[in-house]
A and B are shown apart, each in its own frame.
Chain A
Amino acid sequence: MTIMECAGCTLIAYGVPFSMFVFTIAHHPFRVIISMTSAFFWLLSLLLSSFLWFAVVPLRTQLAFAVPFAVIFQEIFRFLFYRLIKKAEFALQRVQMQELTDKGMVFDRFAVAYASGYGFGLISGTFAIVNVLSDMTGPGTLGIFGHSQDFFIATAFLTLCVILLNTFWGVIFFTSLDKGGIHRFIGPGTVVLTHMLFSCITLVNRTLTPMYTISLIVGYAILLGMIIYTVVLRGFNLNNIRQRIN
């Protein structure tokens, strides 16, 4: 019964993001709205990518052509979302800021960056895995043509990687742009390059007996790198962390 496998893969892909949602976003209506809007922006970027794919008729079968452009479009829309947030913040500042601060409603930039990254990641991961999950509900699994049986677990872990990566990319992108100076180029540049690298590595998975380990290791290595970069960017050092833990 591959219902078990389907449930397992769903939990692998969405387990961690679900916990993140429950503990960081669910209790904050503002963050929920930001996540949903951010997800919508991702969908718009996908729409544009699909227009491009549709327009370039001869290269429709070559996925390797469409992928880099999809990455570029996604990052453009992430930037556009940043501009939108900036405008909103500006508008909010002109309206009774004191009242809101008294009530505890602070415009936490970090939280907004985090929520927007999370929204982007969630919808991106969903699009990556939902077709695969629905095909998994039948009685069979991959293998009749010689494909590896590990395809489904690998896809689930890659989706998890995508969701988490997008969250951190969101934070890095927005925080770097806020910081200004040299960070305005390094931050977004790193995001675009690592995103491009990750997406292109996953193209390796489309051979008959792929080595899923390559894309998984690269993905999680990039994730680790992004976590470290975020921490550095936010200005944490050992003292700060010790303070927070108490």
Chain B
Amino acid sequence: MRSSVIFVYLLLSILCVYCSQPKRIVDQMYISFDHARYCVRRLNGTHEIGCQSSASGNSGRMYMIDNDEEFNSYLMNTKLIDSSGSFIIVLNVNLFNTYYVDKLITSLSSKLNGLLLYLKSTSSRPEYFSHDDQCPNHRYSYYLNQTEIINWNSKGTGLFFRSFPFPIMLIDEEDDYKQLIKFYRQFNYSQSSSPTCGLELKSFQNAAHSSKTCIRRNDISHSLIDLEETFCDPVGGLNIYSKLPQSFIIIPKKRQPKSVILILTTTDSFQMFLKIKGTTGGAQQPATSLITFLALAHLIGQEQNEFKQQDKEIIFVTLDGDALDYSASFKFMFDMINGSFPIGNQNEEPIKVEHIHSIIEFQSLSLTDKLSLYTYPSSLINQTFIDTLVHNNPMIIPMAVDSSLPPASSQIFLRQTSSLSFPAYILTSTNQNQLSNHYYHSFFDDPSTLSINISSLEYNSTTEFSQWIKNIVEPFGQTLIESFVGIKKNITIKQEIINNLVYCILKNINCPLIHNVTNQSTGNSFDSSNETSLPFSINTYPVAATPTFPFVQNILSYFLRDRIYDTYNLNETTCKQYSNNDSFCSYIYVGGYAPSIMSEQSFDGYCVRSYIRSVSSMSPAFTIDNYDLSQTTYPAWTESRWTTISLRLFVIPTRKHEIITLVIGILLLSVSFIVCFILRYYTNISLLQPSSS
């Protein structure tokens, strides 16, 4: 007995060498990719677009296709295609267009269980990558009933608006690509029956069929189960507007016709492949336009004493939701026609269509030498305004009268007023009816397309881009003063302000600028988005915790603030008292943004008096009673909800192995059953005899 004990201890000590951490088997079976981009499902009034996987994930044998030759040889390799029941095709991102995708779908039909795109490295990105339509937003454009279609985005594949029955994901990180190719070469190179690599894509979307069906399903409550399940959310964010807080038309005073100028830009974009905590793209559209817009707002705020001397109001409006069928513009016009613009104070005289003088829009701007100015209709435009604009900024080229408008929110403003009320001026970067943006509505639209090296960008770096913005905004502000105030004045904006805006919007939204223009609690809410750029994606209602809206609200209202308050040394309580007496403006106590303050004295804190309003930009389709969502009067986009998204790599067992295991199991069961049966009936062993003890 003692020797056995010694033997056991010896064994233990040897075995201790082999000990490792006990883990679940699952960890040894699957490699998951947590940084993959995924495609989700969206619905409009009648259709669904996007991708869908089964609830437990779509799995299949992995096959990698890197270029055209490999693609053709794969489709001709019928033996390989027949060898497996389902495939996940791993496709080079350069091959992601309608030709290859359609060919895969027709050749593989139900065997195509998913698509995984990969980007080899950041330097090998395709030259054009846009999956919006060739004529973006053509479903609700101004030219709906006209036959002329201009393909503003001629390299667009339109794949975003198609519905795929399988999931599509994209890996854009180099480490993920290296891991994938390593295992692929290890296992799948030999096409024999040795175990091969497989992938599982899981991106189950809750919504189906159309917005009408989905919204109806949202409202179904199962009386036994109290929880309401929401399958989709309507697309919408906030339309924000602000102006100089100087003159207010209080009832019964009447507003003069043609006394309001609207300056428009958008704050949203979409991309086919989303990522949690990933870049959303949107650097050229809409960030460039947004930066120009905010810089112009600062210029107007700077020169507010000049603008006080005339009676026209300039209202700065940001629209959120126009990337999908101009939902936000429809809502804005709907509010205006129904007398709820501006929202807020009942005593303020509403602004209606007849009060609008003109609309100016910044849309799809890119870092180009020349800018195009589109104007419509020729009967209402002010030619002197255009001439002054071109004279002040030779970069701007006016387009021929009544030429077709590019995709822009102004199209809806004109459509809803039948182009009879006010003219529209659209400043954009197009060249011969082509948008200059190669990555229109795609996540590749990042600061590198604006010649900005984002890793070395500092809070106050002067880049070619920020200088370009300055060269556009200053002449524009000059033109506005010349046209509306009537004086020629050389106005400048500090380069620092534009540099700060570029840094905050394109690199790190949690920047000193936003902390200087907000009060303590609002400023602290940006800490959670540290080191992320301003997200430009589809927002849904109820509005998620996106930092875009507080950012735009606070900066826009600060830039257009009443500057007389910069000279007052007030404390927080006095500021609050002011807000109790004034129901039109908002008063907040902030630290103050130094480059914007003109007075010589500086204080610890400033009371900021500003005019800011935010309205939900959800399409009127969702707010009108008894509106049938399948009607096409207003767009009705919704985004599906989803829970887990996962991408896993593993080894698929060979058919032979599986069958052998099953057969052995069945054999063991049946043989043991038969043996016991024989032993019971042909022998006298007491154990096997049935009795009741």
Residue ranges of A at the interface with B (Cβ–Cβ < 8 Å): 1-2, 4-5, 7-12, 15-16, 18-20, 22-24, 27-31, 61-64, 68, 103-108, 110-111, 114, 131-132, 135, 138-145, 147, 149, 151-153, 156, 160, 189, 193, 196-197, 200, 203-204, 206-207, 243-246
- Chain B's closest residue to A205 (CB) is B18
Assess whether A16 is in contact with B658, with CB atoms less than 8 Å apart: no
Q: A63-B19, A143-B187, A245-B683 are in contact. List 5 more A-B contacts (CB 8 A).
A: A11-B666, A28-B690, A140-B651, A143-B195, A193-B1
- Bound Cα distance from A111 to B691, whole angstroms: 12
A209→B31 CA distance, assembly (Å) = 19
B277 at the interface (CB under 8 A from A): no
Taking the nearest CB of chain B, how far is it from the CB of A154, in angstroms?
11
27 contacts between A and B (CB under 8 A): A2-B658, A4-B661, A5-B653, A8-B662, A12-B661, A12-B664, A19-B673, A62-B19, A108-B686, A110-B686, A111-B687, A131-B24, A132-B25, A135-B25, A138-B30, A138-B650, A139-B59, A140-B29, A141-B195, A143-B195, A144-B31, A144-B183, A144-B650, A145-B28, A204-B15, A206-B19, A245-B682
B253 close to chain A: CB less than 8 A: no
Is the Cβ of A20 less than 8 Å from the Cβ of B676?
yes
A19 to B16, CA, bound (A): 38
Q: Is the contact region of chain A dominated by helix, strand, or loop, or is it mixed?
A: helix
CA distance A103 to B649 in the complex (A): 63
Question: How distant is the Cα of A200 from the Cα of B14 in the complex, in angstroms?
Answer: 11
Cα of A22 to Cα of B652 in the assembled complex, Å:
36
Of B4, B662, B677, B688, the residue contacting A5 (CB under 8 A) is B662
B664 touches A23 (CB 8 A): no
Contacts of B665 in A (CB 8 A): 7-12, 15, 156
CB of B28 within 8 A of CB of A8, answer no
* Inter-chain contact A8/B658, CB cutoff 8 Å: yes
> Which residues of B are found within 8 Å of A197, using beta-carbon distances?
8, 11
Complex-state Cα separation, A228 to B683, whole angstroms: 19
User: What are the 3 tightest A-B residue pairs by CB atom distance, in nearest-first order?
Assistant: A140-B650, A11-B665, A8-B661
CB distance from B342 to the nearest CB of A (A): 56
CB of B545 within 8 Å of the partner chain: no
- Chain B 654-688, CB within 8 Å of chain A: the 1/0 string? 00011111111110110011011101101111111
For residue B383, CB closer than 8 A to chain A, the reply is no
Q: Is B156 an interface residue (CB 8 A)?
A: no
Q: Contact between B668 and A16 (Cβ–Cβ < 8 Å)?
A: yes
Which B residues lie within 8 Å of A23 (CB)? 676-677, 679-680, 688
B198 in the interface, Cβ–Cβ < 8 Å? yes
List B residues 1-35 near A (Cβ within 8 Å).
Answer: 1, 4, 8, 11-12, 15-16, 18-22, 24-26, 28-31
A138 proximity list for chain B (CB < 8 A): 26, 29-30, 200, 650
Report the minimal beta-carbon distance from B642 to chain A, rounded to whole angstroms.
Answer: 20
Nearest CB in chain B to that of A2: its residue: B653
User: Who on chain B is nearest to A16 by CB?
Assistant: B672
Q: Judge whether B693 is part of the interface by a CB distance below 8 angstroms.
A: yes
Given B1, B648, B663, B677, which contacts A140 in the complex, CB threshold below 8 Å? B648
Q: How far is the CA of A110 from the CA of B685 in the complex (A)?
A: 12
Contact B20 A206 (CB under 8 A): yes
Chain A positions within 8 Å of B12 at CB level: 64, 68, 200
Is A5 a contact of B661 with CB atoms below 8 Å?
Answer: yes
CA distance A64 to B685 in the complex (A): 41
- Is there a chain A Cβ closer than 8 Å to B692's Cβ? yes
Which residue of chain B lies nearest to A31 when distances are taken between CB atoms in the complex? B693
B8 touches A63 (CB 8 A): no
Whether A140 lies near B692 (C-beta < 8 A) is: no
Q: Can you name the residue of chain A whose Cβ is closest to the Cβ of B21?
A: A61
Which of B4, B200, B665, B680: most chain A Cβ within 10 A?
B665
| Contact A114:B687 (CB < 8 A) given known A108-B693, A135-B26, A140-B652 | yes
The CA-CA distance from A139 to B685 in the complex, in Å, is 45
Q: Say yes or no: is B197 at the interface (Cβ < 8 Å to chain A).
A: yes
Contacts of A111 in B (CB 8 A): 686-687, 693
